[in-house]
Amino acid sequence: MNTAAYIHGVRDVRIGDIPAPVPSAGNVLVDVLAVGICGSDLHYYKDGGIGAAVISKPFVPGHEFCGRLVADVETRGLQRGQLVAVDPATPCHHCDWCRQGHHNLCPKVVFIGAPPYNGALTHQISVPQNSLFAMPEGMTPDQGAMLEPLGVCIHAIDLAKPKLLESVALIGCGPIGLGILQLLKLSGVGKIVAIDPQAHRLEMAMQLGATHSGDSPSAAVDHTDGRGCQLVIEATNSPDGLSHAVMASSIGGRLVLVGIPDGDAYSPVTAAEARRRGLSLKFSRRMGDVYPRAIELVEAGLVDVDVLVTHHFDLDGTPEAFQIQADEQPGFIKSIVRPSGA
């Protein structure tokens, strides 16, 4: 038997036994070294689910993770002991949507750490060999775990197609927002107005290159001579995310929504505010095949993922990790659980 952290229901995380994993054909065992707690994990904790994905029995979250191979993987030329990050998503590759290039939207996806599939908040896990990404020399387990949220950021930027020197409002400065901010800097946009209710997050946004900050969407208007921003990227957990994005945008603006709203619903949007601006709206979900770029960005020092990790816990500390994240404790940005305790 092993141990794992289970979400039993709303605000109920407990450590319990889990059978030792047995790798099926095409899988390999990985000793888990670092697991990020995601905002999406928190929805299972706060709401008991995300939309139709409801917890019907206790499940083990954890889809942002890095570990060490327990055995050689000859098909991939990887050796036992190699540090690997794991793409949690295995799309079917055969449905119409996969064939059209929308792997991230495959309805038949097997996603490690989303019900009914148990995740990585345990000591050892069996993962598909095809989902492994070898970590370059010198990269840390924490950085490996951060590749998944960084991948979400890359996908959002791919959808946003930022333009040189345009004005951007970034609504929500959690780990995803702050990752997106670093990618915006790389893409050569102009003004970046960071918006978040929490002062410590705005401080970090300014450190990472935001040009202005404020605690409400009106900041995006105030800092653009009343025009609003041409690109708005929303990465909050707030039902107001959509309406705030509309209010922060300029005429002809583009909106990309990355956040998952609490309660799986947006608060009402004033139709005229959106219509009269002629806005374009994209919803970002998970990611495409972005791991290689995520690795390269971290390895080259172009993105700092370490600065986003403010808290560490061992596996037994997982209930506390969820609690402080749900409570939006000041100073908190991102937790990593290290099941081996190291």
Kindly list the residues in this chain that would bind Zn ion in the complex (CB under 5 A).
Answer: 38, 91-92, 95, 98, 106
Least CB distance from residue 47 to Zn ion, whole Å? 16
Q: Which of 173, 193, 192 is nearest to 310 (CA)?
A: 173
Q: How far is the CB of 48 from Zn ion (least distance, A)?
A: 18
DSSP state of 165: T
Instruction: Find tokens 């996908």 and name the residue.
Output: 155
Shortest approach of Zn ion to residue 214 CB, angstroms? 26
Distance of CA 133 to the CA centre of its chain: 18
Length of the chain: 342
Residue 64 and residue 146 in contact, taking contact as beta carbons nearer than 8 Å:
yes
9, 32, 290, 326, 331 from 49: Cα distances, Å: 9, 25, 26, 14, 26
**Nearer Cβ to Zn ion (29/38):** 38
- Output 70 or 95, the one with its CB closest to Zn ion: 95
Q: How far apart are CA 122 and CA 274, in angstroms?
A: 45
Task: Report, in Å, the least distance between residue 275 CB and Zn ion.
Answer: 33
Residue 38 or 279: the one with the smaller Cβ distance to Zn ion is 38
Given a contact cutoff of 8 angstroms between Cβ atoms, the answer to whether 190 and 166 are in contact is yes
Q: Which residue, 142 or 166, is less far from Zn ion as judged by CB?
A: 142
Would you say 87 or 166 has its CB closer to Zn ion? 87
Q: Judge whether 122 and 5 are in contact, CB under 8 Å.
A: yes
CB of 304 to Zn ion, least distance (A): 18
**273 sits in which H/E element:** helix 271-275
Q: What's the min distance (Å) between Cβ of 40 and Zn ion?
A: 5
State which residue, 91 or 253, has the beta carbon closest to Zn ion: 91
Among 154, 156, 148, 39, CA closest to 89: 148
